[in-house]
Amino acid sequence: MPTLRGLLHRLYVWIRGERYAEEQREEVEFHLALERMHLQHGGAGPSDAAHSARRRFGNVSFYREASRRAAGLAPLDRLTQDMRYAWRGVCRDPGVAITVVVTFALGVGANAAVFSFLDRVLFRPPAGLADPARTHRLYVPLPGRGGRTFVTDRFSYEEYRAMRDAAWGYARVGATLRSDSSSLRFAQGEVPVRRAFVTADFLPLLVDRPARGRFFTPDEDDIDSPAPVAVVSHALWQRAFGGAPDIVDRGVDVGGIRLTIVGVAPEGFTGPGLSADDIWIPASAAPHYGPQREPWYASGAVYIGIVARVEDGIDPRQARQRLDQAYRVTYDRQSPADTLRAIMMESIIENRRPGARPQEISISVRLAGVALIVLLIACANVANLLLARAARRRREIAVRLALGVSRGRLLQQVLTESVGLALAGAGAALVIAAVAGSVLRTRLMPRVQWGDAVLEARVIWFALALALACGLLAGLAPALTAARGQILEALKGGVRDGASHGTTLRRALLVAQAALSVVLLVGAGLFLRSLRNVQAIDVGFDADRVVVGSVFFPDQQPHPELADALVDLADHLRSAPGVERVALSRAAPLTMTYSMPIAVPRRDSAFLAQLDVPDLIVASPEYFAVTGMRIIAGRPFGAGDREGAPAVAIVSETMARTLWPGESALGKCVIYHKPTNPCNTIVGVAADARQWSLIKPPAMQYFLPLAQRTGPNVSGQPRVILARTAPGQATAVALLMHRELRRLLPNAIPEVASLYRRLEPQLRPWRLGASLFTVFALLALLVAAVGVYGVMSYVFSQRVHELGVRMALGARAADVVRMVLSSSLHVIAAGIALGLLGAIAAGRLVQSLLYGVSARDPMTMIVAPAVLLVIGVAAALPAAWRATRVDPVAVLREP
Amino acid sequence: MMKPAAKRDPLTGTLEMLILRTLSVAPAHGYAIAQHIARLSDGVFRVEQGSLYPALERLLQKGWATARWGESPTGRRARYYTITRAGRKQLQEKVSDYDRVAHAIARVLGRA
């Protein structure tokens, strides 16, 4: 190991460069002079002495080189030399260089963009945590419908307190309510912020200490007497307050809550989630949540997420056990029979949650594979271009070898060139990654408020490392070919020779490109088909023509005036322009719903119990006409179905089929809620409609008339107003409805949207999958087409002479075209065969992301290769066309 | 890192050892070092200049010696080499290695 002093010396030598060599020369001169003097004193003549000294000293320049080699500088010298050589090569052939750089940039850029996204959402722990490895999120599996389990990260306040107290000494436990968007008003103005409601133990657990001031005290987080205090993020402190040193004790207003700032969180920390939180407020001050608007800490209300940090020196398994025991104690009081529930202590990274992950994550993980394929295609392409060029330089290389350049040196030279080009590509790739990465972020997760930049140190390193690897990979084949070159043969062969050299390797690379392109095209085809299938789903209502309005009262009090207001509004809307019909109800698709158990005479209650609890929709008679839900048997509700008239019900198709298989449901009886309630006679069967999920099979639904629900304990008060609009009028009607709700109910916050607006987010993942895969497949196709074009042009240029001879001997243009095309067709056909095998093998990786189409869909398997075939032939056509224009006379006259 | 002393080839770095030993007496320029070694070894070791300067460069790189330009008695600029603390430590190790090997050889030859 050299010491620090030694390293400094090397640096010195490197920096001084030629001047250091000068110093060494001077030193040698001095040595020689002394030696001459010495020899003279010994009796030899002056010229004799100089000669002898020089002889004894040996070859000065050899010595100098040896000394530089000893200084460890030879590799650096060689590198400079190689880079100069590479630069000359680039200047001689800028077209190839630009193509290579662009290809690398696309390939590496696509990967860096996907990596930056995945790294942010899946790999990298939230910024600023004191000890991310020992910090965890807690989850618990719950029994779900149909015997399956699902995993939740929401807990009750009671459970949180029990776990926090029990884990004392083993793990610190903190809780957070969800964070939301709000606005911060202060002396200097107003800025949008994300506020998070957290318990007092939350911030110290995650980040240890504030940058300024203090965090909350437990007293301030007492649910009986919440304190109006807040901690702001370092970023907000800088952004809104300009980093003012007197930030502590300033008063602000956040979404209507007056607060005093008591501290600033450490720099970089923006909460444990993906969205950047700006301000933290004690959970005790949080408004109430949920459809019932009960306090978040109410018994049984599960709104809080829990984080735990295992104490130093404690085995995480032990800590988990403590948490689990405490959780069980609170839970056993409610349902002792349940053995499934066991606390899971998982990564703090939100998207590493156990159980089902969001579809966006699944898509982006697949996308990483797709990006890698694009990169492989790009590498194959570059290797091909460089190979073609190496073949053109064959004679030059042979001459260099003949002059004694070592093969290792030659290898190094070619690799330097390809790596240099790749690194240049990496620069462009970072620009692409910055743009594409932010597109990915906003498209894949539009709700997340990203607080950081896409290009981050890890992404930059990733891009550089990837470019380096690609440069080596793509340069390897040309380098080895060059180094293996047969000197004599190449020197003997004329300019015309060489058509067949290295073509096998180039063809193999083309086949690989074609195969990988087929895989991507098949993928894109599958996603497009699955998008079409999703779009073709009959949701059972006319989403784009129905506007739904409801309200939310911030004061959480019952508001009997709501029903009257909605009835007034309905009257008003009926005569409004663009409105065709209006209905009132207590539930609407994608808006609100509740499930209500039923009893059915002569049906086993055990049979009913194993079914999902059906959705109940209490609605006015116009409900069906407004939503466009079809009545397939019997009749809809009418004006006669009122208080005092026989109690009626309408059931959905699925419910009718499930409860009375093979029979007509009309005239049957369904009992609402409790078996002691009176019978509702079924007068109609409605076609199935989706309630919440677009792709889940429809659930059982039953409808009761609003007018018959006026008895005690049952509410006939409407909560939702629905309007059917004329085509294209949905937005105007929504605006009108919003304005009217505001006017009629000044204390309420209206929530108005067309059903399509509410459905749209569910279509998004499918659109995304289709569009992202298509973009990548097109990218791959483009790169592969460039490859086919490049290789075909090259092969053509190598065969010009041969073609000229053939034409001179009587070959017609058609023959020549056939010759050129058939060579590209062979390559593409081989690629398609391999690609289809690959696509079938990779199919199961994407099957879970498809809807209504098999990963081995025959249609896609035919169309995708056909596309490639067309593109491939098109890319070979210019070469074929040029082949027909070969002038035999000119070619034959060439030396 | 340093390998165990016993496993090292005893003869590598002999020249370096001789140079370091010379420098441990006093700083010297290249020619003086060569002269010193030749004189003390009664002309057995004639240090080839072609290996002397690369060896000195190696010492600089390992940080066992430093060099600076100074004036020689003849008035010309000369590069003087000085041993460093790391160099002294290294010399000590090399000498003790050498002793062990010399002793071992002597014993094998039946002279000890």
Mean pLDDT for back-to-back runs of 10 residues, chain A (895 residues)? 78 81 84 82 58 54 56 69 79 80 89 91 88 92 69 87 90 87 84 90 92 89 84 91 89 85 92 88 74 68 88 91 85 57 86 81 86 88 82 74 77 84 90 90 81 86 92 83 65 51 76 89 89 87 90 74 90 92 90 80 78 87 93 91 88 91 89 82 92 83 85 70 92 92 85 88 83 85 80 75 81 81 85 92 85 89 91 84 79 68
What digits encode the pLDDT tens for the residues B4-17?
333 444 455 788 88
- Which of helix, strand or coil describes residue A853? coil
What digits encode the pLDDT tens for the residues B23-60?
998 899 988 898 888 888 887 777 777 788 888 888 89
**Residues of chain B contacting residue A33, judged by C-beta atoms under 8 Å apart:** 76
CA distance A393 to chain B (A): 38
Q: Please tell me the distance from the alpha carbon of residue B41 to that of residue B17, in angstroms, as a whole number.
A: 14
Number of residues that this document lists for chain B = 112
Note whether A63 contacts B31, CB cutoff 8 Å.
no
Note whether B49 contacts A57, CB cutoff 8 Å.
yes
Note whether A30 contacts B53, CB cutoff 8 Å.
no
Q: How many other CB atoms are there within 10 angstroms of residue A888's CB atom?
A: 16
- Which of helix, strand or coil describes residue A362? helix
DSSP letter, residue A545: G
**Residues of chain B contacting residue A62, judged by C-beta atoms under 8 Å apart:** 50
**Cα–Cα distances in angstroms (integers) from residue A725 to residues A572, A584, A627, A736, A739, in the given order:** 14, 15, 10, 12, 16
The structure tokens 């092969």 sit at A795
Note whether A63 contacts B49, CB cutoff 8 Å.
yes
DSSP A455-514: --HHHHHHHHHHHHHHHHHHHHHHHHHHHH--HHHHHHS-TT--TTTTHHHHHHHHHHHH
**Residues of chain A contacting residue B69, judged by C-beta atoms under 8 Å apart:** 23
Which of B30, B63, B64 has its CB closest to that of A27?
A: B30
| Residue of chain B whose Cα is closest to the Cα of A60 | B50
Element (H, E) at B80: strand B77-83
Q: Please tell me the distance from the alpha carbon of residue A397 to that of residue A413, in angstroms, as a whole number.
A: 11
Note whether A27 contacts B53, CB cutoff 8 Å.
yes
Q: Please tell me the distance from the alpha carbon of residue A441 to that of residue A437, in angstroms, as a whole number.
A: 6
Q: Please tell me the distance from the alpha carbon of residue A803 to that of residue A805, in angstroms, as a whole number.
A: 5
Q: How many other CB atoms are there within 10 angstroms of residue A465's CB atom?
A: 12
| Residue of chain B whose Cα is closest to the Cα of A21 | B57
The answer for residues whose C-beta is within 8 angstroms of residue A646's C-beta and 6 or more apart is A681
Q: How far apart are the first and last CA of chain A?
A: 60
Q: How many other CB atoms are there within 10 angstroms of residue A689's CB atom?
A: 23
User: What Rg value do the Cα atoms of chain B yield, rounded?
Assistant: 15
Is residue A46 classed exposed, middle or buried when 0-12, 13-18 and 19+ CB atoms within 10 A define those classes? exposed
| pLDDT value, residue A54 | 56
With b meaning 16 or more CB within 10 Å and e meaning fewer, what string describes A765-804? bbebbbebbbbbbebbbbbbbbbbbbbbbbbbebbbbebb
Note whether B54 contacts A2, CB cutoff 8 Å.
no
Q: Please tell me the distance from the alpha carbon of residue A265 to that of residue A278, in angstroms, as a whole number.
A: 9
Which of B48, B57, B66 has its CB closest to that of A67?
A: B57
Interface of A with B in 68-107 (CB under 8 A): 69-72
DSSP letter, residue A350: G
Is residue B33 classed exposed, middle or buried when 0-12, 13-18 and 19+ CB atoms within 10 A define those classes? buried
Note whether A10 contacts B61, CB cutoff 8 Å.
yes
**Residues of chain B contacting residue A5, judged by C-beta atoms under 8 Å apart:** 63, 66, 84, 86
Element (H, E) at A548: strand A546-552
Nearest Cα neighbor of A364 from A348, A351, A346 is: A351
| pLDDT value, residue B82 | 92
Which of B30, B48, B62 has its CB closest to that of A6?
A: B62
Q: Please tell me the distance from the alpha carbon of residue A34 to that of residue B10, in angstroms, as a whole number.
A: 33
- Which of helix, strand or coil describes residue A597? coil
Joined tokens for residue A682: 């079924």
CA A695 to chain CA centroid, Å, is: 22
Note whether A9 contacts B63, CB cutoff 8 Å.
yes
| Residue of chain B whose Cα is closest to the Cα of A35 | B31
Q: How many other CB atoms are there within 10 angstroms of residue A593's CB atom?
A: 18
Report pTM: 0.68
* Helix orientation angle between A755-808 and A503-535, rounded to the nearest 10 degrees: 150
Joined tokens for residue A473: 């990979």
CA B106 to chain CA centroid, Å, is: 23
Q: Point out which residues pair with A122 in neighbouring strands.
A: none
Q: Point out which residues pair with A592 in neighbouring strands.
A: A588
ipTM above 0.95, yes or no: no
In A199-288, the DSSP E strands lie at 212-213, 229-232, 251-254, 257-264, 279-282
Q: Widest CA span of chain A, in angstroms? A: 142
Q: Please tell me the distance from the alpha carbon of residue B33 to that of residue A746, in angstroms, as a whole number.
A: 100
Element (H, E) at A332: helix A316-332
Note whether B30 contacts A66, CB cutoff 8 Å.
no
Size of interface A-B (CB pairs under 8 A): 80
CA B94 to chain CA centroid, Å, is: 9
Which of A2, A34, A56 has its CB closest to that of B63?
A: A2
Q: Please tell me the distance from the alpha carbon of residue A35 to that of residue A50, in angstroms, as a whole number.
A: 8
Q: How many other CB atoms are there within 10 angstroms of residue A151's CB atom?
A: 15
- Which of helix, strand or coil describes residue A783? helix
Note whether A3 contacts B79, CB cutoff 8 Å.
no
* Helix orientation angle between A755-808 and A858-884, rounded to the nearest 10 degrees: 40
DSSP letter, residue A886: -
A455 φ, ψ to 5°? -85, 115
Note whether B63 contacts A3, CB cutoff 8 Å.
yes
DSSP A10-38: HHHHHHHTHHHHHHHHHHHHHHHHHHHHH
- Which of helix, strand or coil describes residue A767? helix
A47 or B64: which leads in pLDDT: B64
Nearest Cα neighbor of A32 from A17, A45, A18, A51 is: A51
Note whether B30 contacts A31, CB cutoff 8 Å.
yes
Are residues A610 and A658 in contact, defined by beta-carbon separation less than 8 angstroms?
A: no
Q: How many other CB atoms are there within 10 angstroms of residue A270's CB atom?
A: 24
CA distance B99 to chain A (A): 24
| pLDDT value, residue A722 | 94
| pLDDT value, residue A833 | 93
Strand A615-619 to A701-705 pairing: parallel
| pLDDT value, residue B3 | 37
Is residue A349 classed exposed, middle or buried when 0-12, 13-18 and 19+ CB atoms within 10 A define those classes? buried
**Residues of chain A contacting residue B58, judged by C-beta atoms under 8 Å apart:** 70
Which of A14, A38, A63, A68 is the best residue to mutate to test the B interface, defined by the most B CB atoms within 10 Å of its own CB? Answer: A63
Are residues A545 and A628 in contact, defined by beta-carbon separation less than 8 angstroms?
A: yes
Note whether A30 contacts B31, CB cutoff 8 Å.
yes
